[in-house]
Structure formats: structure tokens, C-alpha cells
Structure 1
Amino acid sequence: MKRKSLFALSAVVVVAAAALVPVLWSGSDYLHNGTAVAATPADQAALIKKGEYLARAGDCIACHTVRGGKEFSGGLPMATPFGTLFTPNITPDDQYGIGKWSQDDFYRAMHTGRSKDGSLLYPAFPFTSYTKVSRADSDAIYAYLRSVPPVAVPSRPHELKFPFNNRNLLIGWRTLFFREGEYKPDPTKSVEWNRGAYLIEGLGHCGMCHTSINAMGGPVNSAAFAGGLIPLQNWYAPSLTSNKEAGLGDWDIKDISDLLKNGVSQRGAVFGPMAEVVHNSLQYMTDEDVRAMSTYLKTIPQKSEAPEHLQLETSEQFGGELLKQGQKIYADNCAKCHADNGLGMPPSFPPLANNQSIQMPSAVNPIRMVLNGGYPPSTGGNPKPYGMPPFAQALSNQEVAAVVTYIRQSWGNHGTAVSPQQVSDLRSAPLD
């Protein structure tokens, strides 16, 4: 249950997330072949339904289903700096899936990052977050996965470079970067806040995108949630700890909730891979869970900033030339939707003025949006989203750099100028 390709992010704002519905075993439940079974068919049906909700919360389908393939049959390639991982089959097929896994086996994988045979799992599977998930919620997900149709598709072997294909190396990685343990509520915070913290830090595994990773593939914990460039994705996951980026301290709870649930709000919209997260997962969360997540996100404290990635700089003189050129390009191509004053027409066309994601130190996301365009997700609250057309074929590298420079430096925005070389580098980047 891993978010697609080390998990991707919004071009305009914010978060991957998740939710839960607590499931408690009653004293009348019993074991059948080592597997807990609810006392009555109605109890089992309710358990499966809650497990389906939780699987949605974890966005399991995004990683364990190839486009056009059978649900949860695996095989999705996940590119990493160390080689390509392929997601496993998690249907209840006895030979190729988890049909012979017990409830304890499944919880061990979630909680400790170990497979049924005890082998260490690679951390592209976010067990560093899933360890916080309660046993009751793990059992519910297990019950749901046992209820889906089995698919006899073998899992494809990973294609990792030497020495990363040696799982024994994971012992050192785990010593440095993994702390096992379920989420412990903070007694000084409200029930709603703790619910949101559990969702964001557990099944949501938001930190896997919004925390930079080091050369060993481990999170820079001193800068948790402080943002960073996602390796091989060429999308920037903005900081959730700084109001200069995607920190939400000055957002209304309603705007945060709208963004998570619908993909659009009065303050912005999600694009790129984050749109998939909203489409596959967040739109199905209850209003109460989304509000809990919003409450927690709004209070994430300021932390150390993420390590800065190299970004090509332009001279002051050339930056001024780009700004002037970009003004005309904006008037010809962008003002019709985003308005001459950059205020847009939210929620259909997000504002560019005073938009943190436009003026962040990293210009990766606005460059990619101009080059590739995109749509917010189609959701129940926004079934017919307005999209942005791609300009990669219409504008040169310098013209893209010029218009992005213009929107980063106009209407009170305080971004820096963009280099045409950076546009060139991103033009050839993969789209997902």
C-alpha cells in the first residue's frame, strides 16, 4: 500500500492524507484457521466495509494496481534512485497474493516492515508511517483485502542496483530511520487534533513526500514536513511547516478541508500527482476526518527548513528582461483565466497573487504547470474541474522562464527569477 512512485504532490498546494474508522473486536469474536472472524455475518460485513474505507484512506489502490489491471494485483513499477521496485499482489490468492497470510502476518508487515517469512521490506512500502496504525485498523484492512477477488498474477522481482539488492543492508537503514510503535495521543490536545495527527502521520504517510530524503533514502527528520524535491518525480512537495510555502497557519479550516476533499478551494487547487491522491483517496473520507486532518495541519509548528536543492540563478539584469517579456506573455495567454491582477476566479481558476506555491524558493511546480498543464481531480464536490492547457509546444524555454518569472514577481509576490536552463531540464522530465 504505497503511494505511487515515492508519492507525489500538488503543484499548487498541499497534502496527501488519510483517515480511519476504529474497529474493535468484541469478546464474541473467534479464530478460524488463525484468522479473526467477526461474530456474525453482519459484523463481518461491517468490518469489511470499514476496511474498505481504510484502504481508501491509505490509497492502497494507487500502488497495487496497474492502470487497466486487476485491482490490488500489483506490478506497478516504482522508480527510485536505487533501481526499480515492483509492487506486490495483495489479493487473497493463495499462490501469488496474501491468501495464506494470517491477520498477525499482515499486522507484522504494517507495524514492523517484515513480510510473512520474516524478510525485511523495502521502505518504499511506508511501514515507517504504517507502524502508527492501530491493530484494530490493520485488522479491518486485512478483512477487506481478504474479501476482494483473488488474482493469480505473480509479483515481479525488483530490479535494484548492487548493493541495494541485498536486503541485509536494510538492517542499518532501519537502525537509523525506523522507530516502531503505534500512535500515542497527546493528552494536551483535543480529540479532533489527535485524530488528525493519527491520520496524517499514519495511513496518510504525508511525510514521505513532504520531508526531504538524504542520499541513503532516509528522511531528514530534523526537517520533518519541511518539504523537498521528490527524487525522480521532478515535483516539489512544499513545506507544511512554513507559511512561505504550504504552511496553513493563516488558512481557514474550511479552505483546507475543501482543498483536501474537493481538490479546489478559494485559496488554491491541487494539480499533478496530488490530484490523483485526492481523486483516489481523500474525496472518499468523511467530513469529520477531513476536518480533523485540517485541524492538525493548521497547527504543525515551524521546524527546520528542508535542505536546499540546486536551483540555477539568473543575473539581476537578465531577470529584469525576463520580467518584462513575461508580462506580455501573461497578458496574451494567462490573463483571461487568472485575471490581469492575478486574483483569478476561484475556485475554478486559482489566484496567482499572494499564492505561496508560486513564490516558493523552488520554482519547479509552476514551471511544470506551464509546460505540462493539468487538471484538478474530478471529485464529488467538483465533478467538472477546469483545467490548464500545456504550453510546452507553444512557448520556448526562455518564454516559459519569462512568464513564470513574471507571476513570481508581480502583484506583491516575492519569488526569484527563473532560468531558461531550469525550464529545459524540466521539459524532458517524466510526467508521473
Structure 2
Amino acid sequence: MSARLSKLLRGAAVAVVALALLAALVAWLNVRGEAPLNATAGESAPADPEAIVRGAYLARAGNCMCCHTARGGEPYAGGRPLETPFGTVVAPNLTPDRDTGLGAWTAGEFWRALHNGRSRDGRLLYPAFPYPNYTLVTREDSDALFAYLQTLAPVARRNDAHALRFPYKLQASLAVWRALYFRPARFEPDPAKTAQWNRGSYLVQGLGHCVACHAPRNWMGATESAQALGGGLIPMQNWYAPPLAPGHGEAGAAPWSVDEIAQLLGTGFTLRGAAMGPMAEVVYGSTQHLSDADLRAMAVYLQSLPAAPDAEAPAERAGAQTLKLGGKLYGDHCAACHGDAGQGAPGAYPALAGNRAATMASPNNLVKALLHGGFPPATQGNPRPYGMPPFKQLLSERDIAAVATYVRQSWGNQGSTVSELDVLRAR
């Protein structure tokens, strides 16, 4: 055997050993803190009526029905597709049908799905199911949620296959992602904080999974913990979920009162702004059903988030011609509701003057509202919300850009200029 061949074989052996060690590390990282598959056999969901009632409430807090109900389908029977940059993930059936739903599951297996992100058959679950947040849910709450789901009417609906691109559809690829970005955790109350603050933290970080939208994601789709609730563009939807922490010069919760934050979460509307787009769906399906105490707890927690430094440079003013066109269009189409001075109308239309939701670094939400209309959710506290008609059939990209710029740069607002390209991107 030549010296060169011997060297190549030694190199190949070292590479094989290194790959084997790496695979073993990835495998270990995917099972740490996890009970063996047979450790939950024979468990049954609690039948306590109080637990079932609490589970129904927790299902609302997690907005479970929203994702697990196809348009026109049976509640919780799955089938709703979720578009991601990596392909389409389809939500499964959560009804207690034994063949196609959760009927054959145990409470322990359901807990493992929430806490460890692993299905009953051992498959790794995709984080479109937000187990990186649900891992914080307590076992008691998991059991209550499972008990409630077991009381639903069984629906025989087989789960649709995901349509993910290569290599994202591989369990091995998912295992690597989990090794890098997921670790099972438990919610640890902060003894230096009040019970109200800790309750809000538990809801926001856990079942509420607010970080799923209100945080930037890296190229592998993972949220960066250091930038939690720092705002981000929602993939595939082009709605911008603003930072909730103060100091970004955007729509953080700190300048709002606890009452105002709780009102927005509970009704979808305040004079400072209205929930639209994906947030309207959250309010409609989830937060409007929470107790006043929980809404206020979430508000207290959001107000306490650590501030981040403002990094945005002062915006340059648009040209006089753009502002003149925007002002005319605003007067023709917007002033009747939002007021000549952008003051809004209490109980009906939010103010635009001083509205940071209209002056965020990303103009997407304002542009999308102008293009497609703005429709706050119908809630118990605001059953007949005033909507805003779409203007995409009436106004050109130039017009939309001009009126958006006018709103962002009038009445003391300091937003940046909106271009026609911004409008095209938001479409």
C-alpha cells in the first residue's frame, strides 16, 4: 500500500469517526430531558370537569383553533396550510378520533409534543407548531388542555402531508435545526417580580407565543433569543409585527397604559390604534376571550420589557410635490374618518397623528391597509368595528405611496418616505 493511499484511508477514517460523533451529539441534543417512549404508556387524560374548563380557556390562550381549523372545516380537525419560506406545513387533526386525531394518545404523549416537540410515533415535529414556546407550558396546564381536546366531537379527517422542499423535509435536517436552536425548558417564576408580572410572562412567552411573530428570524427560520419581541416581518405574509419592547421608536408597549394595552388585546381597538391583519386574527380567536386579570398581567409584563437603543436616523422629508399629492388624496379619501388633522374619532377610527404604528421603520402595515383595507376584529367589547375600504382598485402605486408618505410626515409624524417600490413589495 502506498504512503499516499494509507494517508487517504487514515483521513477517511478520521472523517467517518468525526461524522459519527457529530451525529451522536445531534441525536443526544434531540432527546435530552425527554422520557423514554414507553414511560407514558397507560396514562389517561384527567376527567376533572374543572380541568376541562381550564383546558378550554388555555386552548383560547394558545389560539389553537385558528391554526388547526381549515377554512370551512370542522373546528380543530386540521387541514389548514401554513406557508413558510421552506415550503408548506399543514396543521394536524386535534379531535379525539382514534385513527386520524388524538383519540389514541395519552396525556403524557401530548405533554411530550408540547414540551419536547416530538409526536406520538417518535417523529420530530416542525417548529411551525411553536413548541419552542410551548415547552414552557406546565404539565398541569398541558393535561388540562389535553382533557379539553378529548371532549371535542371526533372528526375522521386524515392529516395532509407537508410539502416542504429538500432538505427541509428530512428528519435529519430537522434534528440539526433542533440541536442548534431548541432546548426543552420550564417556566421559572421570577421571585423578584409580582405574581401578576409572572403570570403575564408565562402567557406571553408560553401559550401566547408572541415571539413567533414579534421577533426577527435568521436564515434558518429561528428566532434569536437576544432579540426576543424585537419586531420582524412575518414570513410569507409581509405584515410587520413591531417591536414590543420600548426604545425602538416604534409601537412598543411602554408608552401605553396598562388599560390601553389590555383594551387593544381584549377588543382590538383603542384610539391609539387598531388590530389588523394577523393581529386581528389573534384578538378574534384568542385574546378577546381571556380574563381581564390575564390581559392586564400580559400588559404589565410587556411594559417591563428591557429597552433597546433607538437606531433609526431621522427620516428625510419627501418632496413638496409628493406631499401635495398625498395631502389632496388624504383629504379626498381619508379625512372624513380620520380627521383633517389626523385626530381620529373616539370609539370609531384611530388617530393617525402621533400614531407610531403608522410611522414604523417598515411602512408595510400602513401600505397593506391602504391597498387591502383595514378590518379590526369583531369582539365582545367592540362587536361592530368600523372598517376601512381597500383602495388598490382606485389608487395607483404612486398615489398609495404619496398618501402613505403624507400620513407618515404630517401632524408631527416623523416617518420615512414611502416609494412606489415599497408599495409593490407590500402587495
Describe the SS at the equivalent of 2:177.
Answer: helix
Higher RCO, 1 vs 2 (CA within 8 Å, ≥6 residues apart): 1
What secondary structure, in the 3-state scheme, does the structure 1 residue paired with 2:237 have?
coil
What amino acid is the match of 1:35? S
Q: RMSD across aligned C-alpha pairs, in angstroms?
A: 1.8
Q: Give the match for residue 53 of structure 1.
A: 57
| Other-structure match for 1:388 | 388
Structure 2: gaps spanning 5 or more residues:
1-39
- Displacement of 1:241 in angstroms is 1.3
**Distance (Å, rounded) in 1 between the aligned partners of 2:131 and 2:43:** 23
| Contact 1:269-1:347 at 8 Å conserved across structures | no
Equivalent position of 1:141 in the other structure: 145
Match of 2:295 in 1: 290
Which has the higher mean CA deviation after the structures are superposed, 265-274 or 199-208? 265-274
- Residue number in structure 2 paired with 1:157: 161
Query: How many Å separate the matches in 1 of 2:157 and 2:340?
Result: 54
Residue identity in the other structure for 1:34: E
Q: Which of residues 178, 188, 192 is equivalent to 2:192?
A: 188
**For residue 178 of structure 1, what is the aligned residue in structure 2?**
182
Distance 1:200 1:34 in 2: 29
What amino acid is aligned across from residue 59 of structure 1 in structure 2? N
- Partner residue, 2:402: 402
Q: CA-to-partner distance for each residue in 1:312-335, whole Å, 9 max, x for gaps?
A: xx996x643211210111011111
Query: Amino acid of the residue matched to residue 410 of structure 2?
Result: S
Conserved? CA contact 2:245–2:303, under 8 Å:
no
Deviation sequence 1:387-411 (CA, Å, 0-9, x none):
0011111111000000000000001
1:204, distance to aligned residue in structure 2 (A)? 0.2
- Counterpart residue type for residue 275 of structure 1: A
Name 2:413's counterpart in structure 1.
Answer: 413
Change (3 A) 1:305 1:198: farther
CA apart distance, 1:169: 1.1
The separation in 2 between residues aligned to 1:163 and 1:303, in whole angstroms, is: 36
Q: Secondary structure at the match of 1:415?
A: coil
Q: Which residue matches 2:361?
A: 361
Shift of 1:170: 1.6
Give the corresponding residue for 1:20: none
Equivalent position amino acid for 2:399 in 1: E
State the secondary structure of the residue aligned to 1:35.
coil
3-state SS in 2 of match to 1:75: coil
Q: Does structure 2 conserve the Cα–Cα contact (< 8 Å) formed by 1:226 and 1:305?
A: no
Question: Given the two structures, how large is their TM-score scaled by the length of structure 2?
Answer: 0.87
Give 1:75's aligned residue. 79
Greater shift, 318-327 or 402-411, is seen at 318-327
Is structure 2 residue 310 aligned with structure 1 residue 301? no
- Please tell me whether residue 114 in structure 1 is matched to residue 118 in structure 2: yes
Instruction: State the match for 1:255 in structure 2.
Output: 260
Q: Per the alignment, do residues 329 and 218 of structure 1 end up closer, same or farther by CA in structure 2, a change over 3 Å counting?
A: same
The alpha carbon displacement at 1:105 in A equals 0.1
**Structure 2 counterpart of 1:117, which letter?**
D
Deviation of the 1:118 alpha carbon = 1.6
Structure 1 position 174, deviation (Å): 1.3
In the alignment, which residue of structure 2 is the partner of 1:320?
Answer: 320
Distance in 1 of aligned mates of 2:131 and 2:309: 24
Taking the aligned partners of 1:50 and 1:252, their CA distance within structure 2 comes to 29
2:46 paired residue number: 37
1:238 aligns with 2:242: yes
Q: CA deviation at 1:33?
A: 4.4
Instruction: Note if 1:340 corresponds to 2:345.
Output: no
TM-score of the superposed pair, with normalisation by structure 1: 0.86
State the partner residue of 1:271. 276
Tell me the amino acid that sits aligned with residue 121 of structure 1: L
CA change 1:422–1:115 in 2 (3 A) is same
Corresponding residue for 1:13?
none
Residues in 2 aligned to 1:293 and 1:305: alpha-carbon distance in whole angstroms: 24
Corresponding position of 1:3: none
Q: 1:37 to 1:415 in 2, by over 3 A?
A: closer
Query: Which of the numbers 96, 104, 107 marks the counterpart of 1:103?
Result: 107
Which of 98, 113, 121 is the matching residue for 1:94?
98
User: Which amino acid letter does the alignment assign opposite residue 242 of structure 2?
Assistant: P
Query: Partner of 2:331 in structure 1?
Result: 331
**2:150 & 2:87 partners in 1: Cα distance?**
31
Pick the structure with greater CA Rg: 2
Equivalences, count: 385
